[in-house]
Amino acid sequence: MNDNFSDIPHSTGAFRLARTIILLFCMMLAARHGMANIVVIGDLVRDYTLKPGQTHEAFIELENRNPVARQVRVYQSDYKYLANGESFFPAPNTMERTNAGWITFSPKTLTIPPMQKAMIRYLIRTPRDPDYIGTFWSIIMIQEMQDRTPGNRYGVQIVTQLHNTGKIGLEFTSATVVNKSGQRILTVDIENRGNRMARPEMWLEVYNNAGQKVGRFVSGQHAVLPGCGIRREIDISSLPKGSYNSLFIADCGGKDVYGLEIKLVLEGETDAKPAPPPVKN
């Protein structure tokens, strides 16, 4: 039950406040989790802050944990994800904020002996063009080959942030309460419509009608790339039935703090009712 809050404002002040009323990469696995035989050692997201024209060299370490030699294919892909859980992996250099063309890597195919390790080396070279600002990214795909047939694969995301450039632009696009497996869950969808990656700390503060704070629910930290979206789910089952004022906060640091004011009217364990439709300009 996702409502489109297209009229939520996003002013440029130090604190962005929006209001609404509510009634009632599957590939980005934890580091060292394995494919059938090949394991990537280390982080699956590599984040670099570089200056225009700067180069940076690094490597991806692989390990074959099978007693038989395994072949691996290495290639590039662009990447985008949405708040509804969809992920897209288009061809490299097709997305607006791709950095695939800035990256060279070797080898593109390799055979890893049984119980041995190997490395893929990559070099990032950022353009000197001042028109490039903010955050750019792509994925190095690592795919196990079985008798020339593609098998399981990893995606190692390479993020480059151009030093001191770009702006974050978070917007709240939907907020609903749903009943999920007997739990009352507040879901908030967030998009980054700026050109720099955000990594906000997020939480919900809840107050009764007398203005007294009755709860604080931490949603944690999550990166949001430009043009992408995330969905945060917060279990508010501990709140009794009643009416509450609440504020969902996404703190990106400094002046980049965003708030969504939410009126919660909890009417028991029934399914959430949709919020009123937005008034379009």
CATH homologous superfamily of 38-162 equals: Immunoglobulins (2.60.40.10)
In the chain, domain spans: 15-24+166-266, 38-162
The residue-averaged pLDDT of 248-253 equals: 97
Residues 6+ apart with CB under 8 A from 28: 44, 45, 155, 157
Residues linked to residue 263 through DSSP beta bridges, in sequence order:
21, 245
DSSP assignment letter at 239: S
Confidence of residue 9 (pLDDT cuts 50, 70, 90): very low
Q: Write the pLDDT tens digit of every residue in 184-221.
A: 999 999 999 999 999 999 999 999 999 999 999 999 99
pLDDT score at 3? 36
The residue-averaged pLDDT of 244-254 equals: 96
| Separation between Cα atoms, residue 242 and residue 197, nearest integer Å | 37
Q: Write the pLDDT tens digit of every residue in 40-64.
A: 999 999 999 999 999 999 999 999 9
Topology match between the domains 15-24+166-266 and 38-162: yes
Q: Domain 15-24+166-266 is of which CATH architecture?
A: Sandwich (2.60)
Neighbours of 186 (CB within 10 A): 24
